[in-house]
Amino acid sequence: MKTKLTFFLLFICFLANGQSPQVQELGKLYMSGKYDQTIEKANKYLNSDPENLDYKVILGRALTDKGNYKEAISHLQYAIDRDNSWRKAWGLGYLGTCYYMLSDFDKSESALKSCINLNATKNATRYSARRLGIFGYDSFYKDWTVKESKHIRFHFQNMSDQKIKLYIESREKAFVEINKFFESSVPRKIDFFVWNSRDDAKRIVHANLGFAEPAYCIVHSHFQQTKGHELTHVISNYSNQITQKTGLINEGTSVCFDLANRNDEKLVFDWIKENNQKIDIKDIWANWRKYPHELTYPLSGLFVNELISEFGKEKFLAFFSNQTYENAKTVFGNELDILIEKFENKYSG
């Protein structure tokens, strides 16, 4: 949702500044998430107008969102060096993201702070300010302990050396275990922020713990949260090119692989008994936010486990890139509805 809002704000910016039909076309493509088409068109227009800053900014942003960070930098920097308005602001914000993903943290922090200091547009400033928090650049983190394992860079707010050692071992083991299934190539070490205080986290990152930012390979977690839930969000995001996520499947997958010793069946049965309500998987699939987390999280984990058990890893991962019911029908066939009916009957009492 935040990504779509960013697209929309960019497009409004184009319209408000009376941009050319070509720029508006690129804005629409970018706003629709059609990055490949955006990149192709922007390069085409740059061939005839190589100094156009709008083309450069849009191309740089599309390349960033595609994960082509090194290529994006030159286009973003070109606009930054020649502009002092919203183009420079967004260029700096996205430049900060590129350098972060390339693990050049000093340049990343500098670009984000430059965007904030420029204060050319409220939305670009907000974009960069949020990333200062989630990337770990806020001065609040200056006394945190940073440790690295093979796959994860940990940031500890307040934990003893012995507990840090055990925590790192358990999460590194969890990463390996989870990725045996997904076989993902995560593009960089996961930055895993381990918070001691939920209130502090709310103040600095403006979100409730825990959460993952898979596009940036980031996890922010309370130290008592499950080993695998947020890690799974990051790892699974790189199992395939994800085109459509749904709450039932995306959260269900992370619950299924969270490595917690929890009786989810009991949680679901207790909720049904207390609320006297039948389970409707298709409605939950389509209207995830309509239902309470007390039901949807344990139920979705159980449902994903059923899908994997019934159809196997290969088919599940083929489906996972587009998590809609319609795609599930395409991949799993009519057997999907049979599985859903059996699953619902199991929890109907």
212-234: pLDDT as tens digits: 999 999 999 999 999 999 999 99
CATH topology of domain 145-237: Glutaredoxin (3.40.30)
pLDDT band at 72 (very low <50, low <70, confident <90, very high): very high
Q: What is the mean pLDDT of residues 97-118?
A: 98
Q: What is the mean pLDDT of residues 81-85?
A: 94
User: Tokens at residue 236, please?
Assistant: 């699974």
Nearest Cα neighbor of 72 from 32, 29, 42 is 42
pLDDT band at 96 (very low <50, low <70, confident <90, very high): very high
Query: Could you tell me if 25 and 37 are in contact, meaning their C-beta atoms sit under 8 angstroms apart?
Result: no
Contacts of 96 (CB under 8 A, 6+ apart): 108, 109, 110, 111, 112, 115, 128, 131, 135
Stated pTM of the model: 0.90
Q: Residue 122 has what pLDDT?
A: 94
Nearest Cα neighbor of 223 from 247, 255, 253, 200 is 200
**Domain map of the chain by residue range?**
2-137, 145-237, 247-346
Nearest Cα neighbor of 337 from 299, 277, 283, 282 is 282
User: Tokens at residue 328, please?
Assistant: 């599930």
d(C-alpha 337, C-alpha 280), whole Å:
12
pLDDT band at 1 (very low <50, low <70, confident <90, very high): very low
Contacts from 327-332 at CB under 8 Å and sequence distance 24+?
A: 327/244, 332/307
Query: Is there a shared CATH topology between the 2-137 domain and the 145-237 domain?
Result: no
Query: Could you tell me if 88 and 118 are in contact, meaning their C-beta atoms sit under 8 angstroms apart?
Result: yes
Whose structure tokens read 């449902």? 303
Contacts of 24 (CB under 8 A, 6+ apart): 11, 14, 15
User: What is the architecture of the domain spanning 2-137?
Assistant: Alpha Horseshoe (1.25)
47 vs 32, higher pLDDT: 47
Cβ count within 10 A of residue 48: 9
Q: Residue 238 has what pLDDT?
A: 96
